[in-house]
């Protein structure tokens, strides 16, 4: 029997959600007398990815931002839209910087510990939980678990399920090619017309930018497919053929209406992707991780259940939007064009961040209306699982 260490709370996984939750706990004096353990199978992540999100004004991550923008462009065959990010700023940071920042804070706290171990399973016993690690067992009163269990992947497939899959390059050009004052939110002009696919550009310097080709579709592509679209895009819109690729990133993010919150139990709260913290219709999760972490703290203080459930109205709207993208995948460009063209950027961003007033939600719904939405909506009335 391996030795066991006791904690009030254990956070399994020091990825985006685990780090956000840890950061919220260690910043709140209320929890100074509670003990915490964060366990991750990796000591430090090798990959350095870019995490982007939008928020109003100054925020708690401003110290470690790579860049922020207050203007963006949306391009489609139907036209160009200038997006005003002056209220909700678009911000990007490096995942490595974020991890280092939170782990530095963890090191300074006496009641917080980080251990590098692989969690094999979590056993619920009377009034305690045993987290079974590869090296050791750990005991807690409550566990926050960001592992995606293999059984869940099977279940997800019964629901509407798309993947946001993408490949991006950070490139350095010889000449000044980019305007670092604005970024490209979505560009649908060069893509496979059978799918929802677009290019995303974050200029960091006049000669340095992240260019990503992204799909919202059912299956990933070979690397060469994304790379070819990036090359074409750079050549056509930046007249750039001479550049150095200084970094590349690749990702697959699940976009699904699967009700992840049901995986949580009284003593184990699923967090992150495994807890449904990824916005199903956009694949963004950074802001949700921050928001839901704070919600968990609030619930603990109020003595309430920790389960985090999406607001019904947003869950329903995500389901419909995802249903349209899934059934009519080539129509994604039109859906996003209508939403962005017919609404002020602030209303769209509030909606995607789930911070809208009902009246604004109705305006968004009216703006994207089409026969496809009506068909999916009708289907949702009689189909239990969409």
Ligand X SMILES: Cc1cc2nc3c(=O)[nH]c(=O)nc-3n(C[C@H](O)[C@H](O)[C@H](O)COP(=O)(O)OP(=O)(O)OC[C@H]3O[C@@H](n4cnc5c(N)ncnc54)[C@H](O)[C@@H]3O)c2cc1C
Interface mask toward ligand X for 276-315; x: CB under 6 A = --x-----xxx-----------------------------
Residue (of 305, 310, 309, 292) closest to 142 by Cα position: 305
Which of residues 72 and 253 has its CB atom nearest to ligand X in the complex? 253
Phi then psi for residue 182, to 5 deg, are -140, 160
Q: Three-class SS of residue 188?
A: coil
Tell me the site size for ligand X, rule CB under 6 A.
30
Q: Does 118 bind ligand X (CB under 6 A)?
A: yes
Among 7, 11, 17, 320, binds ligand X (CB under 6 A): 17
Identify whether the C-beta of residue 54 lies closer than 8 Å to the C-beta of residue 353.
Answer: yes
Q: Find the part of the chain contacting ligand X (CB under 6 A) among 55-63, 272-280, 339-347, 351-359.
A: 272-280
- Residue 252 phi/psi, 5-degree rounding, is -130, 120
- Verify binding: residue 16, ligand X, rule CB under 6 A: yes
Between 6 and 135, CB nearer to ligand X? 135
Bridge partners for 115 per DSSP: 39
Q: Which residue is nearest to ligand X (CB)?
A: 15
User: Distance between alpha carbon 305 and the CA centroid of its chain, in Å?
Assistant: 24
253 contacts ligand X (rule: CB under 6 A): yes
| 14 touches ligand X (CB under 6 A) | yes
Pick the binder of ligand X from 2, 6, 42, 244 (CB under 6 A).
42
Interaction of residue 376 with ligand X, rule CB under 6 A: no
Determine the interface stretch with ligand X among 10-18, 136-144, 178-186, 307-315 (rule: CB under 6 A). Answer: 10-18
Rg (CA), the chain: 22
Residue found under tokens 């209306």: 369
Beta bridge partners of 371: none
Q: Which of residues 13 and 310 has its CB atom nearest to ligand X in the complex?
A: 13
Alpha-carbon gap, residue 75 to 343, rounded angstroms: 15
- Candidates 177, 196, 272, 372: give the one binding ligand X (CB under 6 A): 272
Contact map string, positions 50 to 79, toward ligand X, x by CB under 6 A: xxxx--------------------------
18 binds ligand X (CB under 6 A): yes
Residues 48, 97: Cα–Cα separation, whole Å:
8
- Is 245:169 a contact under the CB 8 Å cutoff? yes
Beta strands, E only, 50-160: 50-56, 65-69, 71-76, 79-84, 88-94, 112-116, 119-125, 128-133, 137-145
Look-up: residue for tokens 């699967």?
258
- Backbone torsions φ then ψ of 367, nearest 5 degrees: -65, -30
The gap from C-alpha 46 to its chain's centroid, in whole angstroms, comes to 19
Q: Which of 39, 72, 300, 335 binds ligand X (CB under 6 A)?
A: 39
Among 9, 10, 11, 12, binds ligand X (CB under 6 A): 12
Q: How far is the CB of 353 from ligand X (least distance, A)?
A: 11
* 163 binding ligand X? (CB under 6 A): no
- Does residue 37 belong to the site contacting ligand X (CB under 6 A)? no
**Cα–Cα distance for residue pair 257/355, rounded to 1 Å:** 19
129 lies in the site for ligand X, by CB under 6 A = no
Closest CB to ligand X among residues 59, 251: 251
Of the pair 292, 372, the CB lying nearest ligand X is at: 292
| Cβ closest to ligand X, residue 204 vs residue 377 | 204
Do the beta carbons of residue 218 and residue 162 sit within 8 Å?
A: yes
- Concatenated DSSP letters of 223-253: HHHHHHHHHHHHHHHH----EEEEEEEEEEE
**Which span (15-23, 155-163, 200-208, 329-337) binds ligand X, by CB under 6 A?**
15-23
Residue 39 CA to residue 27 CA, distance in Å, equals 19
Q: Which chain residues interact with ligand X by CB under 6 A?
A: 12-18, 39-42, 49-53, 118-119, 146-147, 249, 251, 253, 272-274, 278, 284-286
């Amino acid at each position: 029997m391996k030795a066991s260490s006791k904690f009030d709370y254990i956070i399994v996984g020091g990825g985006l959600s685990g780090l956000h939750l840890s950061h919220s706990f260690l910043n709140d004096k209320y929890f100074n007398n509670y003990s915490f353990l964060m366990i991750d199978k990796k000591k430090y992540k090798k990959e350095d990815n870019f995490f982007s999100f939008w928020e109003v004004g100054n925020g708690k991550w401003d110290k470690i931002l790579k860049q922020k923008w207050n203007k963006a462009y949306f391009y489609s065959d139907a036209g160009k839209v200038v997006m005003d990010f002056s209220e909700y700023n678009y911000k990007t940071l490096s995942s490595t910087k974020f991890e280092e920042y939170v782990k530095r804070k963890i090191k300074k706290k006496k009641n917080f510990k980080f251990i590098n171990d692989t969690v094999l399973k979590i056993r619920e016993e009377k009034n305690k939980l045993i987290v079974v690690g590869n090296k050791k067992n750990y005991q807690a009163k409550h566990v926050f678990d960001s592992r995606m269990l293999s059984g869940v992947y099977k279940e997800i497939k019964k629901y509407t399920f798309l993947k946001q899959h993408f490949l991006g390059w950070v490139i350095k050009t010889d000449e000044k090619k980019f305007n670092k004052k604005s970024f490209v939110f979505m560009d649908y002009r060069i893509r496979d017309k059978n799918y929802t696919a677009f290019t995303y550009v974050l200029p960091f310097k006049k000669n340095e930018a992240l260019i990503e080709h992204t799909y919202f579709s059912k299956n990933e592509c070979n690397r060469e497919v994304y790379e070819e679209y990036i090359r074409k895009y750079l050549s056509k819109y930046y007249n750039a053929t001479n550049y150095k690729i200084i970094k590349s990133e690749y990702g697959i993010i699940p976009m699904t209406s699967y009700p992840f919150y049901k995986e949580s139990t009284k003593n184990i709260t699923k967090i992150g992707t495994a807890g449904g913290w990824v916005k199903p219709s956009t694949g963004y999760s950074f802001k949700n991780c921050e928001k839901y972490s704070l919600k968990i703290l609030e619930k603990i203080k109020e003595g309430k259940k920790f389960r985090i459930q999406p607001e019904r109205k947003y869950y329903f709207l995500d389901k419909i939007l995802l249903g349209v993208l899934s059934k009519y995948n080539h129509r994604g460009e039109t859906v996003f064009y209508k939403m962005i063209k017919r609404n002020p950027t602030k209303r769209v961003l509030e909606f995607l961040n789930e911070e809208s007033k009902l009246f604004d939600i109705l305006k968004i719904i009216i703006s994207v209306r089409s026969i496809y939405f009506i068909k999916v909506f009708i289907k949702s009335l009689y189909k239990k699982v969409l």
